[in-house]
Amino acid sequence: MSDAVFIAFQANDETRSIVEAIGADNPQASIVHYPAMVKIDAPGRLVVRRESIENLIGRAFDLRELQVNLISLSGNIDESDDEFVLHWNQS
């Protein structure tokens, strides 16, 4: 069992689609709702895809917009124009 990475967002209208997209792209992730906050844990690796979010919100999305509603995260980050990946480097 690999160590979990996580990402947490403010719970609001903007993040609802983001969380939905993350859930669809990461079937192994668990999504927990706290007061005002949504925390998503995933074993080893979690990917946020620009295209999946755009398909849900119906407009162009810049992955850096994630920062507006981001609360916290853990894991090494690899970000490009299309994907935002959290992972641990484990052998």
Partner 1 sequence: MNMPAAPAKPPRKLGIKENYALLTRGLGWETSYEPMDKVFPQDRFEGIKIHDWDKWEDPFRLTMDAYWKYQGEKERKLYAIIDAFQQNNGQFNVSDARYVNTLKLFLTGVSPLEYAAHRGFAMAGRNFRGTSARIACQMQSIDELRHAQTQAHTISHYNKFFNGLHDYPHMHDRVWYLSVPKSYFEDAMTAGPFEFVTAISFSFEYVLTNLLFMPFMSGAAFNGDMATVTFGFSAQSDESRHMTLGLEVVKFILEQDPDNIPIVQRWLDKWFWRGYRLLTLVAMMMDYMLPKRVMSWAEAWEMYFEKNGGALFHDLSRYGIRMPKYHEVASKEKDRLSHEAWGTFYNYTQAAAFHTWIPADSEMQWLSQKYPKTFDRLYRPRLEFWREQQAQGKRFYNNTLPMLCQTCQVPMFFTEPDDPTKICYRESDYRDNKFHFCSDGCKDIFDHEPEKYVQAWLPVHQIYQGNCFLPDANPAAPDFDPLAEVLRYYHMQVGHDGHEYLDSPDRRNWEQWTGKPGVAA
Does the protein bind partner 1 through residue 60 (CB under 8 A)?
A: no
- Compute the chain's Rg from CA coordinates: 12
Angle, helices 50-57/13-25, rounded to nearest 10 degrees:
130
- Please identify, using beta-carbon distances, which residue of 27 and 36 lies nearer to partner 1: 36
Out of 20, 54, 73, 83, which residue is the one contacting partner 1 (CB under 8 A)? 73
Torsion of CA 23, 25, 44, 60, to 10 degrees: -100
Query: Smallest distance, Å, CB 50 to partner 1?
Result: 11
Residues forming contacts to partner 1 in the complex (CB under 8 A) are 3-6, 8, 10, 34-37, 62, 64-65, 67-81, 88-91
